[in-house]
Amino acid sequence: MKIAKVSKERMYEIIRAPVVTEKSTMGSEHSQVTFEVARDANKNEIAAAIEALFDVKVVAVNTLRQVGKLKRFRGFLGRRVETKKAMVTLKKGQSIDVTAGI
């Protein structure tokens, strides 16, 4: 995977938060970690940010966009936030502790 040059500020902008769900914790058995990322970030930027911030080697990055749905609450129309998630596969034997801060 080609790693892009990313500034330190942009790295913290790209990686928003870890996703801690039942499905994402099952991915940790396969050296995968899931993060919520900026919607305008591409896979190369995400890989560069993860490698620099957590000092690990990234093998692959899979992304998905979750479109915000229209929902009603007590008769009022609202919209959920659009998000982007990145499932990052790390080199065998490496891991990221998502419960600890950066």
Note down pLDDT in tens along the chain; length 102 residues: 666 788 889 999 999 999 999 999 898 889 999 999 999 999 999 999 999 999 999 999 999 999 999 999 888 999 999 999 999 999 998 888 877 766
Look up the domain containing 86 and give its range: 8-90
Quick one: pLDDT at residue 101? 63
pTM: 0.86
Q: Is residue 99 part of a domain?
A: no
Q: Is residue 46 part of a domain?
A: yes
**Residue/partner pairs of 36-39 with CB below 8 Å, 24 or more apart:** 36/83, 36/84, 36/85, 36/86, 37/63, 37/84, 37/85, 37/86, 38/13, 38/14, 38/84, 39/65, 39/82, 39/83, 39/84
Contacts of 99 (CB under 8 A, 6+ apart): none
Q: Is residue 66 part of a domain?
A: yes
Domain count, the chain: 1
Q: Is residue 98 part of a domain?
A: no
User: Which H helix or E strand runs over 18?
Assistant: strand 15-18
Q: Is residue 53 part of a domain?
A: yes
The CATH number of whichever domain residue 55 belongs to comes to 3.30.70.330
Q: Is residue 3 part of a domain?
A: no
Q: Is residue 29 part of a domain?
A: yes
Q: Is residue 61 part of a domain?
A: yes
Nearest partner of 18 among 31, 32, 38, 35, judged by Cα: 35
User: Which H helix or E strand runs over 86?
Assistant: strand 83-90
